[in-house]
Amino acid sequence: MGIEKHETPLFIFLSYTRSDFKDSEELKRELGNQASSLIANKDIVLDLTHISNIVSGEIGALVRLLRQIQGSGRQVRLVVNATVRKTLESTNIVSLPNLTVYADKNEFLDQVHKAIDPQKK
């Protein structure tokens, strides 16, 4: 089941679950596809809350995606759990300019609602 993909007018939403090596390869392919699909002009939301850790190949694919979309105006928005966040912070990937990391889905949704309607608090 690796990746579930949904598109909205603003985002491409990818929910990732890894149960074996094939899923990791599927994620790397999908992130590569997103990088080459600059015509989409949508931010990419990657939900990593369903995995217990993130492996080096997945981090590498994420870094490649971030480099390829740099300057395009697109953002990668990661929704992570505490363990994945700690790993990402240790690699310093969180300092890249076109990446935003959210602690959970609620934080992400709150930020989306604030962006749509700044009057909401």
Q: Which CATH number, 3.30.750.24, 3.40.50.2000, 3.40.50.300, 2.30.30.100, labels domain 3-116?
A: 3.30.750.24
Question: Which tokens go with 26?
Answer: 């599927």
> 40 pLDDT band (50/70/90 cuts)?
low
27 or 9, which is more confident:
27
Domain ranges of the chain: 3-116
The mean pLDDT value for 32-54 works out to 86
pLDDT given for residue 41 in this prediction: 81
Q: Give the Cα separation of 100 and 21 in Å (integer).
A: 26
Q: Are strands 99-102 and 3-7 parallel, antiparallel or unpaired?
A: unpaired
Q: Do 49 and 78 touch, CB atoms closer than 8 A?
A: no
pLDDT given for residue 73 in this prediction: 86
pLDDT given for residue 64 in this prediction: 93
pLDDT per residue as tens digits for the range 84-99 = 999 999 999 999 989 9
Amino acid at 2: G
pLDDT given for residue 102 in this prediction: 95
The mean pLDDT value for 48-67 works out to 94
Closest CA to 47 of 109, 116, 104, 89: 104
CA 105 vs. chain centroid, Å, equals 12
Q: Do 108 and 81 touch, CB atoms closer than 8 A?
A: no
SS3 48: coil
